Chain A
Amino acid sequence: MRHTTVCAALVLLASTGIARAETEVKVWSWGSAAPALEATLEGFNALHPDIKLTVDKLGYSDVKSRVLAACAAGGTGLPDLFQFQNTEMELITAQFPDCAADLVPLGFDADQQAAFPEFKMFALRQGDRVVGMPWDSGPVVMFYRRDFYEKAGVDVASIETWDDFQEAGKAVQAANPGVTMINDNLNGGAEFVRMIGEEQGCGYFSSDGESITVSQPGCVAALEVVKSLKDQKLMTAADFNGKLQNNGAGVVATQMSGAWFEGSVRNNAPEDQHGKWGIMAMPSVTAGGSRAANFGGSLLAINNNSRVKEAAFTYLSYALGSNEGQITMLREQGLVPSLISALDDPYVSEPSEFWGGQKIWELVLGRLEKIAPINGTEYFSDADQVVIANQTAYLAGGFDSAQAAMDDAAKQISFATGLPIAE
């Protein structure tokens, strides 16, 4: 009897909110994005002390496969919030239209949507629904060791094309024995092909997602650059961890990646490398050509079955939808905001000590407006797997030309997806 009374009292208390229960919001995240979220908590909890965020840090492919498995299971096991790659979000919307919650009824209105650039919102629209909030973007830049370049007498301002870069590479490697000019994740990805391809206006699929464009000149040129770097022994293979290990051991002079790599370079560099790193724009294929591309960049989506959607959205609005949240993540982990207003923040024009006093964010953000949107489509990983395989085959001499390798890739992708190859 007394038991029931106590219970009833508790229920009453809880429902009237007198005993303000803490709401727990769980999130899955990868890479430097996870510590970035943790960095926002101080500011967020000052405003919302009742919402507790638990960040679960996993590897990128782990988050991806776990999210997909959970969506396939009708949402069981999915945390309240999850990170996903922008270019891959259509995989979820096509297969599991009910997996990610619509943010519009939660308050993500037209004004708020307009605060983000269209190239980020593109993949998130599903009819009238919006299934995620844009997070960071990845303007591609080169991270280089000033001391190695200087020792070789290379002036980065003179590097405009990939040919220039290769000449510089020979000098850098000659002047710094044991150092490799650049790393690409050749064994597990086609990252340079994607970055240089996008710089040249070429993605795996056309912008409407209706045809396959991987055999277009821009992508072919990108593969040629990769082959040339490899053949001249200016490039070795290293995945994400490998790059950081090589950085730490001082055996690599340059890394090319989305700007979100900044925090990883900075936070993993040993003490004696502070001030020795710099950032430059990526070279172009042709003199005077485009030097801007986007690589990576993700979003946060809310689990449609979450019991704390409102709290999750409150967090999104702060971490991704406010200058304060976005700038915190930029400062701590180098995540480049996709929230347009954050780009005017004074922090952006501050020089960075680690980067030898360079105003890196001006350089990085200067790329943003030059980026052309790329359509990932739900077939992105199919296409990526094919391109990776053909890249390996081409580098090993399996195709006569880059064009032949990409023509074959286009044929395979077409067969896997049923889409036509663009003329």
Chain B
Amino acid sequence: MRQRTQTAYGFLSPYLLIFAIFWLWPIIHSFYLSFLSTRRQPWSFNPGMTWGRLTQDPAFYNALWNTLKILAIQVPVMLTLATLLAVLLNSTLLRARGLIRFAFFAPVVIGEAAYAAVFRLMFNDEFGIVNKTLEGIGLDAVSWFSNPTAAMSLIIIAVTWRWVGYNAIIILSGLQSIPQDVYEAATLDRVSPRQQFLYITLPLLKPVIVFCLVLSVIGSMQLFAEPYLITNLGGPGGATETLGLYLYKQAFLNLNFGYASAIAYTIAALAVSISILNLWLGRERS
């Protein structure tokens, strides 16, 4: 046993070393920082300026509210779309399967900077293809960057565009792991395809969808690059400021490391508790 332990740690230690230095220690250090006022040198112990401020900072609540809005709207929309997409892509009737799969999965590999730039141009108020199209079909142009609701929609559209394929891949693999004979038996029993979807497919997919839900929740809590790059640091006037972006601004534009650490811990606590809630919901009936 001892020799086993030695061998095992021999294999483990290089990774554990990196993990301890660059992940574990910062987690602890961050907690310590969250009690310091870092506005002036030297830093001093002053939780009132960090945790105290957090309890009554409207900008923080704005960011929290925006993040929850994304969570409540974007995540369900995206997962519904991803599930439907997975079912459609799994259909034996589909032609040009490779091309169509490519269309939805390609955004997964595109970096934030690249797609942010395209979205900025496509949604440009004055010259963008989206507003031109809206005007072309007789609708009003939308001020995507100056109307708070429109800007939030833009972020939701962008994030959905990028991640729906990713989730569809996961759900598709879940679909394909459902044994075919279940459906054959159901068809023999004259269960309609729609009922098959509702009463066989969906329940069997539940664990996979819950997994996607957890991933999406953690992802939404960390949303940063989209409002940073697409709506210019969370504009207009903080309407698309997410918790991640607010943290970035406090830490690296206002140089308020202490306060930013308190925000970081709040994000972490929220992410963990929502994930646990999701997992618990997923487990409940099975």
B146 touches A412 (CB 8 A): no
Q: Give the most central of A69, A94, A382, A388: most B CB within 10 Å.
A: A382
**Contact digits for B144-180, partner A, Cβ 8 Å, 1 yes 0 no:** 0110100100000000000000000000000000000
B126 touches A187 (CB 8 A): no
B59 touches A237 (CB 8 A): no
Knowing A97-B41, A237-B146, A392-B237, the reply to whether A385 touches B59 (Cβ < 8 A) is yes
B283 contacts the other chain (Cβ, under 8 Å)?
A: no
Which listed segment binds B: A60-68, A138-146, A275-283?
Answer: A60-68
Closest 8 CB pairs of A and B: A392-B237, A187-B236, A187-B235, A237-B146, A389-B238, A188-B235, A188-B232, A389-B237
How far, in whole Å, are A382 and B232 apart by their CA atoms in the complex?
Answer: 17
Query: In the complex, how many residues of chain A place their beta carbon closer than 8 angstroms to a beta carbon of chain B?
Result: 39
Knowing A61-B233, A389-B62, A389-B238, the reply to whether A69 touches B252 (Cβ < 8 A) is yes
How far, in whole Å, are A188 and B238 apart by their CA atoms in the complex?
Answer: 8
**Contact digits for B122-152, partner A, Cβ 8 Å, 1 yes 0 no:** 0001110000000000000001011010010
A382 touches B148 (CB 8 A): no
Which listed segment binds B: A79-87, A244-252, A316-324?
Answer: A244-252
Which listed segment binds A: B50-58, B91-99, B183-191?
Answer: B50-58
A94 touches B41 (CB 8 A): yes
Can you name 7 A-B residue pairings with CB atoms under 8 Å? A68-B255, A95-B39, A187-B145, A188-B232, A188-B235, A412-B58, A412-B59
How far, in whole Å, are A236 and B141 apart by their CA atoms in the complex?
Answer: 13
* Extra inter-chain contacts (9) besides given A94-B39, A237-B145, A385-B254, CB under 8 Å: A61-B253, A65-B252, A239-B232, A249-B127, A378-B39, A379-B254, A392-B237, A412-B57, A412-B59
Q: Note all chain A residues with C-beta closer than 8 A to B206.
A: none
B69 contacts the other chain (Cβ, under 8 Å)?
A: no
B249 contacts the other chain (Cβ, under 8 Å)?
A: yes
B239 contacts the other chain (Cβ, under 8 Å)?
A: yes
Q: Note all chain A residues with C-beta closer than 8 A to B232.
A: 187-188, 239
Of residues 214 through 249 on chain A, the ones whose CB sits less than 8 Å from some CB of chain B are: 236-237, 239, 245-246, 249
Minimal Cβ-Cβ distance residue in B for A396: B148
Q: Note all chain B residues with C-beta closer than 8 A to A251.
A: 126
How far, in whole Å, are A245 and B120 apart by their CA atoms in the complex?
Answer: 14
Q: Note all chain B residues with C-beta closer than 8 A to A96.
A: 41
**Contact digits for B231-248, partner A, Cβ 8 Å, 1 yes 0 no:** 111011111000000000
Q: Note all chain A residues with C-beta closer than 8 A to B238.
A: 385, 388-389, 392
Knowing A95-B39, A188-B233, A392-B237, the reply to whether A385 touches B249 (Cβ < 8 A) is yes
Chain A interface residues toward B at CB < 8 A: 61, 64-65, 68-69, 72, 91, 94-97, 186-188, 236-237, 239, 245-246, 249, 251, 378-379, 381-382, 385-386, 388-393, 396, 408, 412, 415-416, 418
In the assembled complex, the CB of B6 is this many whole angstroms from the nearest CB of chain A, namely 39
In the assembled complex, the CB of A74 is this many whole angstroms from the nearest CB of chain B, namely 12
Size bracket of the B interface:
20 to 34
B49 contacts the other chain (Cβ, under 8 Å)?
A: yes
B40 contacts the other chain (Cβ, under 8 Å)?
A: yes
B53 touches A391 (CB 8 A): no
Knowing A378-B39, A389-B238, A391-B237, the reply to whether A415 touches B57 (Cβ < 8 A) is yes
How far, in whole Å, are A187 and B154 apart by their CA atoms in the complex?
Answer: 14
A68 touches B253 (CB 8 A): yes
In the assembled complex, the CB of B269 is this many whole angstroms from the nearest CB of chain A, namely 22
How far, in whole Å, are A416 and B250 apart by their CA atoms in the complex?
Answer: 11
In the assembled complex, the CB of B62 is this many whole angstroms from the nearest CB of chain A, namely 7
A245 touches B126 (CB 8 A): yes
Q: Note all chain A residues with C-beta closer than 8 A to B125.
A: 236-237
How far, in whole Å, are A97 and B40 apart by their CA atoms in the complex?
Answer: 10
Q: Give the most central of A69, A96, A245, A393: most B CB within 10 Å.
A: A393
